[in-house]
Amino acid sequence: MKILVTVAEVAEVEDDFEVDGLGIDERYLTYDLNEWDDYAVEAAVGIQEAGEDVEVVSVTVGPERADETIRMALAKGVDRAIRVWDDDLASTEYLDSTTKAEVLAAVAAEEEPDLVLTGVQSGDSAFGATGVSLAERIGFEWAAVVNHLDYEAGDDQASVRRELEGGVEELTDVETPAVLTIQTGINDPRYASLRGIRQAQSKEIAPKELADLGLDASATEGAVSLTELYEPETVSDATVYEGSSEETAGQLADLLRDKGVVEG
């Protein structure tokens, strides 16, 4: 069987940054594997290790730079990777979840996986929609925000727990093939071993363009466009203590005494 796991490279913003037009100046961005996807990769590799003859393929929509991130997934046990990018995607100002789901659906149509795992959301754009949109597009059943998964390669059903608000979990049986969006904490993502990192060098990252997937630029055209990006005005009226660590700690200590948290 085959598991397709979507991995995104996400941008993290440094503490101090500047906005540049509709984005953040590159100087202030670092890139990393999306936190939620790390757990999805682990879940996929876990199923692979527990079963026989399971292939794990990752798919990324992103520029060549993302290969570095994808190698981390390969080093953790993903067998091969697909990365979709071309000039049309590169010039798309706002790569929303609809566009991503459309591209991923075209990849799924080619790969014909039995199970798709995605992260619940990506840390940068936080749409939280790609996995379930993808499921609907490819006619798979799905479950969102999965923090426990009971599934063995070949099963025609996955038993999952969905983590609802307020410490309540929903127990759900989901027919496969399915898309599951994976929540952090579901497992303990492994570190890439040195051996894994070496092996990853020889694994395939297949670059694809929209045209290779039977799509064209219209896949990137939507009714939603980004028109503003700005640092929110601080609504904060926090009293920020100034001075050395000893001085600020002293001021906070006074506050805590005033509030009666600590006596004397």
Partner 1 sequence: MTVLGITEHRRGDLRDVSFELATVGRELADATDSELHLAVVGGEVEAFADDLDREGVDVVHTVDEGEEFNHDVYVQAVEALHDDLDPDVLLMPHSVNGLDYAPAVASRLSLPFVTDAIGVHRDDGLAVTREMYGSKVETVVDVDADRVALTVRPGEWPPVEGTGDADVSAFEVDVDESQVRSTVTGFEEVGGGDVDITDADVLVSVGRGIEEEENLALIEALADTLGATLSSSRPIVDNGWLPKNRQVGQSGKVVTPEVYIAIGISGAVQHVAGMKGAETIVAINDDPSAPIYDLADYGIVDDLFDVVPALIEEFGGEPPEV
Ligand X SMILES: Cc1cc2nc3c(=O)[nH]c(=O)nc-3n(C[C@H](O)[C@H](O)[C@H](O)COP(=O)(O)OP(=O)(O)OC[C@H]3O[C@@H](n4cnc5c(N)ncnc54)[C@H](O)[C@@H]3O)c2cc1C
Interaction residues for partner 1, span 114-153 (CB under 8 A): 120, 123-133, 135-137, 141-145
Residue 194: name its binding partner from ligand X, partner 1, none (Cβ under 5 to 8 Å by kind). none
**Residue 87 in the binding site for partner 1 (CB under 8 A):** no
Quick one: tokens of 233?
A: 């005005």
Apex CA 210: angle with CA 204 and CA 215, to 5°?
135
**Residue 53 in the binding site for partner 1 (CB under 8 A):** no
Residue 94: name its binding partner from partner 1, ligand X, none (Cβ under 5 to 8 Å by kind). partner 1
Residues 4-23 close enough to bind partner 1 by CB under 8 A: 11-13, 15-17, 19
Specify the DSSP class assigned to residue 22: T
- Per DSSP, the residues of 41-74 read HHHHHHHHHHSSS-EEEEEEES-GGGHHHHHHHH
**Residue 222 in the binding site for partner 1 (CB under 8 A):** yes
Q: How far is the CB of 32 from partner 1 (least distance, A)?
A: 12
Residues 191-220 close enough to bind partner 1 by CB under 8 A: none
**Residue 32 in the binding site for partner 1 (CB under 8 A):** no
**Residue 234 in the binding site for partner 1 (CB under 8 A):** yes
Residue whose beta carbon is closest to ligand X:
120
User: Taking the alpha carbons of 17, 20, 24, 26 in that order, is the dihedral positive or negative?
Assistant: negative
- Per DSSP, the residues of 88-101 read HHHT-S---HHHHH
Residue 164: name its binding partner from ligand X, partner 1, none (Cβ under 5 to 8 Å by kind). partner 1
Tell me the three state secondary structure of residue 27. helix
**Residue 109 in the binding site for partner 1 (CB under 8 A):** no
215 close to 105: Cβ distance less than 8 angstroms: no
**Residue 26 in the binding site for partner 1 (CB under 8 A):** no
Q: Which residues bind ligand X (CB under 6 A)?
A: 120-121, 145
Cβ atoms < 10 Å from Cβ of 223:
6
CA atoms within 13 A on the CB side of 51: 19
Which C-beta is closer to partner 1: that of 204 or that of 247? 247
